[in-house]
Structure 1
């Protein structure tokens, strides 16, 4: 028996609404679009369109996954970030709109300082570094991560955007690879794990049950990675180089103190579109305090 778009939409709406998924209407439309390889516009205006049984089965399987709270971006295997469609799979953090603030601030710094040698640290999908490379032609980016899945996904995204000549993916435990190879950067940019361990259980089911723990948890106080990055950056950043970090909205003062301890200067914080502290930038002063 064939299935019509309207019938399939109704089926999906009922299931996801019962699970109290707030975005159920959009999610259902996106998942049906994936199953039948059609746009949301097509779905809106072709309610009587009959899909094949294979497409209907795929759609029901997607709805089942979403019913279990799997993030819709993982099911779609795609996420829009900075107007670009990135491959995203389970095992890598899904790029967030908040992180676009980090990229926008980085683009301003890169342009105003004519930076061309940049490191995207804890790169995940590569969304930060690749967005910079896509918007500015004369930059070379090293994307690094310790996760094999992240390295694979970032590599696929480099191919997706044809950036193989200017972006490279490197396996590194934070900045250790670059320290060992005596490499230097004008800018290091990172969205490190920063959720306090005690807060992990309070995250939405979509996040805590599916997104990688190691990409979210920043240790007992949420600041473990900031300390290591600040310390290691001094070896890798040129003097006068810029470190840019995404932070949790309650971490401005603590992260600023960490950066001051390691001799960073010109420390400033920018809020995201929700008015929450989100991006800290600082200039390497070259002073190390153990």
Structure 2
């Protein structure tokens, strides 16, 4: 007969042997997920022998450990990720929301007024759009090329009781009849194609390349945002984009060449360039 501490220890050891760097954290999170417990419940019950129901979950736990050993991202196993204090469904059709992207949302919440019309381009899981609507009171429309991503984003909006309108479009191509907005925000694909192939297995093998690949120089989608975005922005409207840590100068040049003004760069918690903001 097992107990929580025994199965956690075994799970942790298996992940360590598989070379998973965050083996302790991941084994614990999978334990909480499979057995539907939290940290306090674990501490209180870690030595208590399993009953029949708990024993049935042991195989499920080690199946989850095996998936993580194969470098399947933790969030794709649990199907969830927290972003700005809200919980989101995630799967292999969307990029896993990152802490870095919270800076993008925080800047909009800091500088923009509730009630403004916002367009989230390349919405993926919908985490940016939904968070802005819930925490900022914005009128939000969210756009993505992937119908699979939009299906999940709609589920996330329902889960978080957010009023967001979703559109399927290849960037701005299918949005010709859309009213202008006050803010455009985007976390577009921005990794160079050749670099995508060099990423860790759990990123390049499991996260959608469509959400990662910024074409040859990583700047393809910024050029589209700069060229087409201003047509959808009200006069004086602002545009916010997430960038790679080494892309600030190139992105500033792209948007400056299209007439955007007051271009600002903001850093993430690690002190790296992460957000570029400007106005029309």
CA positional deviation for 1:211: 0.3
Q: How does 1:94-243 map to 2 (within 5 A)?
A: 94-111=96-113, 116-137=116-137, 139-163=138-162, 166-178=163-175, 180-243=176-239
Q: Could you tell me how far apart the structure 2 residues matched to 1:212 and 1:167 are?
A: 23
Which 5+ residue runs of structure 1 have no aligned equivalent? 285-290
1:16 match: 15
Q: Could you tell me how far apart the structure 1 residues matched to 2:2 and 2:158 are?
A: 37
Q: Could you tell me how far apart the structure 1 residues matched to 2:174 and 2:112 are?
A: 23
What is the RMSD of the two structures over their aligned residues, measured on CA atoms?
Answer: 1.2
Residue deviations 1:38-83, cap 9 Å, x none?
Answer: 1122123311231633211111111010000000011111101101
- The TM-score normalised by the length of structure 2 is 0.96
Length, aligned pairs only: 277
Residue deviations 1:232-253, cap 9 Å, x none?
Answer: 1011111211110000000001
CA positional deviation for 1:115: 5.3
CA positional deviation for 1:10: 1.3
2:91 match: 89
1:3 match: 2
Q: Could you tell me how far apart the structure 2 residues matched to 1:143 and 1:44 are?
A: 42
Q: Could you tell me how far apart the structure 2 residues matched to 1:223 and 1:131 are?
A: 26
Give yes or no for contact 2:190–2:213 (8 Å, CA) kept in 1.
yes
Give yes or no for contact 2:115–2:139 (8 Å, CA) kept in 1.
no
State the 4+ residue runs in structure 1 displaced beyond 3 angstroms: none
Residue deviations 1:235-284, cap 9 Å, x none?
Answer: 11112111100000000010000001111011010000100000000111
CA positional deviation for 1:202: 2.1
Q: Could you tell me how far apart the structure 2 residues matched to 1:60 and 1:96 are?
A: 26
1:72 match: 74
- The TM-score normalised by the length of structure 1 is 0.92
1:60 partner SS: helix
